[in-house]
Structure 1
Amino acid sequence: MTMVFKNTNQLEESMDSTYDRKAEVKAFDDSKAGVKGLVESGLTKIPRMFHSGRLDIIETSVSDSKFGIPIIDLQNIHSYPALHSEVIGKVRSACHDWGFFQVINHGIPISVLDEMIDGIRRFHEQDTKVRKEFYSRDIKKKVSYYSNYNLYHDNPANWRDTFGFVVAPDPPKPEEISSVCRDIVIEYSKKIRDLGFTIFELLSEALGLNPSYLKEFNCGEGLFILGHYYPTCPEPGLTMGTTKHTDSNFMTLLLQDQIGGLQVLHQNQWVNVPPLHGALVVNIGDLLQVKYSGIIFVKF
């Protein structure tokens, strides 16, 4: 299908009642080319569906330790009881004060993390015709490529594309994953799941529970991986790659590239999370906060 978007000033819609967002969204979705496809078309004005309005982002100084995301070293935590207890305390404090923390020396080789980022980038930067073969909004599919999960409902849309995988409890067949990233996705999936169980053990102990509690509660049975891609935007002041939100699941492990861009809301201020090579960001999701807020007093 040919897209209706034009790469001239005619793309910029006037703010009146004639604007048809539904038609604009449908044309974009039917193209199956994502945001990357818009960039590849050479447009200089982004579609109105991506306009975020006035962006009020207050950044704090990363040198201010009061507003630094906690960094927790997991090295040797199972070898030294005193160190293990210290880490439990740090996890408890991070969950209470932030709901976020970064982990280092977590057991996943940096080479695996780097290759995972490269693999996702390779998928998004391959020929449009190849990407289109994976494009789908069928939530039953184990592997899919799309732009904005709630494209037809969220306003504005985010300037990003996503390649996603359902990893557990029923992983996809290897041949269902794009060959440009198949091997690393499979390897990364196994390692990130193991790390997830380790962090669930730490969270359980931070809650004063048996280390296996959250695992036995089946918190780790569901796992999916989302590989977001944020193409260069011709009008970056008008849109965002990810608008403010919370994550509904129990826990998210986030792998940032070295460009960064992640911010978290802390004490009514948006705080930068500087990318730390080899680190993973842990985000305590809504479900975990709601279920255990009375025990660990996790902040919303």
Structure 2
Amino acid sequence: MAAIDDNSGYNRMKEVKKFDESKIGVKGLSDSGITSIPQFFVHDPETLSDLKSSSSHTATIPTIDLSKINSHRPTIVDQITVAAKTWGFFQVINHGVPILILEETVNAIKAFHDQPHEVKAKYYKREEGKGVMYSSNNDLYRTKAASWHDSLQAWMGPEPPEVEELPEICRKEVVAWDLHATNVAETVMELLSEGLGLEAGKFKELTFSDARVLVGHCYPYCPQPDRTMGITSHTDPGIVTVLLQNHVPGLQVRHEDEWVDVKAVPGGLIINVGDMLQIISNGEYKSVQHRVLANSCKEVRISVVIFFNLSKWNEDGYCGPLPALLSPEKPPIYRNFTQREFVENFYSKGIDSKSLIEKITIHS
């Protein structure tokens, strides 16, 4: 990308660097009362052309009630399997986490982002993969246009940070949420595993919940929501994602070539399939595009996401479709790939959709 982007002498990289080094994030920009967004946040017309949800009908992601997981398990396995194959997204209710914990978690992440930027600045950095990091746009230097969100990230496994490294204002809640969300994820993974005809404990045995990162996103009010995005369209790279959000809207999921608004169900948690699970299931489960619109509400949108990833790769250093799911009738549709390929693909560019899957698909 050229340093100077147009004839007016606008130097994008200089402006990006200045914003990054100020450590104020988009929350700081929003709180300052700006009425127009900096140019490096403006997305191209193609991205902005379909910002409204295109759904003419009232489609919504499936909601699955886990309260009868013991008495009606086969039914719930069927529901989750269908949702993961057709939508790639679903909400779970009666998942065992008290409503109070959900509220405390959202409030604690909001409290972190509401602090003066001088207080948050000591966590502001760009060293991903371990510890605790606060930043605006983890792909700020790799993407064509920045998006309107800030994030607090904590790598909770396999080597969690020292508790003192977590910001005091949300420390207790982050540690508790990691535990609760992991329990929900492992329950869902058991059901997804059974849906493929595998033993319930197979995904846990394969370390599908050991490597995980907790991200507390803040989407503050944006004065020009029709010129930028909250987060651009992408798929998640890992196994599954557990999302807790407040009531401020914005999340959209791509379904049957339309953008569908995801409405928060009180007490619900949103689960979605990642690219890695699509690959491991040999295409049975679908990782789908989703995005967040820039926030036009005066109230901030908060979402707390935990991404669950594979922690131990095969002894030969490769990963691919699970051999137990392959047969002469169902040959692999993806080739095996290395951890290095996976990491380099994610960190070499802006957030995007399915680029790894496209690279490793076997074309007959």
Give the superposed CA RMSD.
Answer: 1.8
Q: Which position in structure 2 is the counterpart of 1:23?
A: 14
- Quick one: which of 36, 45, 57 aligns to 1:45? 36
- The answer as to 2:249 corresponding to 1:255 is no
**Residues 72-104 of structure 1: per-residue CA shift (max 9 Å, x gap):** 0001312x1xx1000000011101111111100
- Quick one: which of 247, 255, 267 aligns to 2:256? 267
1:118-133 pair list within 5 angstroms: 118-133=107-122
What CA distance in whole angstroms lies between the structure 2 residues aligned with 1:183 and 1:215? Answer: 26
Q: Which position in structure 2 is the counterpart of 1:137?
A: 126
- The answer as to 2:232 corresponding to 1:240 is no
1:150-229 pair list within 5 angstroms: 150-229=139-218
Q: How far apart are 1:141 and its partner, in Å?
A: 4.0
Q: Which position in structure 1 is the counterpart of 2:84?
A: 95
Which of the pair has the greater relative contact order for Cα pairs under 8 Å at 6+ separation?
Answer: 1
Higher share of residues assigned strand: 2
What CA distance in whole angstroms lies between the structure 2 residues aligned with 1:299 and 1:263? Answer: 14
Tell me if structure 1 keeps the 8 A contact 2:51–2:226: no
Structure 2 gap segments, 5+ residues each: 289-364
**Residues 210-267 of structure 1: per-residue CA shift (max 9 Å, x gap):** 1011111111111111000011112121111111011111110111110121100001
What CA distance in whole angstroms lies between the structure 1 residues aligned with 2:265 and 2:105? Answer: 16
- Percent identical across equivalent pairs? 41
Q: How far apart are 1:61 and its partner, in Å?
A: 5.4
Q: Which position in structure 2 is the counterpart of 1:68?
A: 60
What CA distance in whole angstroms lies between the structure 2 residues aligned with 1:60 and 1:238? Answer: 18
Q: How far apart are 1:53 and its partner, in Å?
A: 3.2
**Residues 138-182 of structure 1: per-residue CA shift (max 9 Å, x gap):** 125411100111100112111000011111111112211111111
Residues 150, 298 of structure 1: CA spacing in aligned structure 2 closer, same or farther, 3 A cutoff? closer
Tell me if structure 2 keeps the 8 A contact 1:193–1:223: no
What CA distance in whole angstroms lies between the structure 2 residues aligned with 1:62 and 1:220? Answer: 37
Q: Which position in structure 1 is the counterpart of 2:266?
A: 277
Residues 62, 120 of structure 1: CA spacing in aligned structure 2 closer, same or farther, 3 A cutoff? farther
Tell me if structure 1 keeps the 8 A contact 2:236–2:287: no
Moved more, 38-47 or 257-266: 38-47
Q: How far apart are 1:183 and its partner, in Å?
A: 1.0
What CA distance in whole angstroms lies between the structure 2 residues aligned with 1:298 and 1:144? Answer: 30
| Residue identity in the other structure for 1:75 | S
Q: How far apart are 1:57 and its partner, in Å?
A: 2.7
| Residue identity in the other structure for 1:92 | T
Tell me if structure 2 keeps the 8 A contact 1:58–1:269: no
Secondary structure of the structure 1 residue equivalent to 2:226: helix
What CA distance in whole angstroms lies between the structure 1 residues aligned with 2:165 and 2:205? Answer: 30
Question: Which runs of structure 1 show a deviation greater than 4 angstroms over 4 or more consecutive aligned residues?
Answer: 60-63
Residues 297, 232 of structure 1: CA spacing in aligned structure 2 closer, same or farther, 3 A cutoff? closer
Q: How does the TM-score come out when normalised to structure 2? A: 0.74
What CA distance in whole angstroms lies between the structure 2 residues aligned with 1:62 and 1:86? Answer: 30
Tell me if structure 2 keeps the 8 A contact 1:146–1:162: yes
What CA distance in whole angstroms lies between the structure 2 residues aligned with 1:281 and 1:26? Answer: 34
- The answer as to 2:24 corresponding to 1:33 is yes
What CA distance in whole angstroms lies between the structure 2 residues aligned with 1:123 and 1:273? Answer: 25
Aligned length: 282
| Residue identity in the other structure for 1:118 | N
What CA distance in whole angstroms lies between the structure 2 residues aligned with 1:42 and 1:58? Answer: 25
Q: Which position in structure 2 is the counterpart of 1:3?
A: none
Q: How does the TM-score come out when normalised to structure 1? A: 0.89
Residues 297, 145 of structure 1: CA spacing in aligned structure 2 closer, same or farther, 3 A cutoff? closer
| Residue identity in the other structure for 1:59 | S
- The answer as to 2:280 corresponding to 1:291 is yes
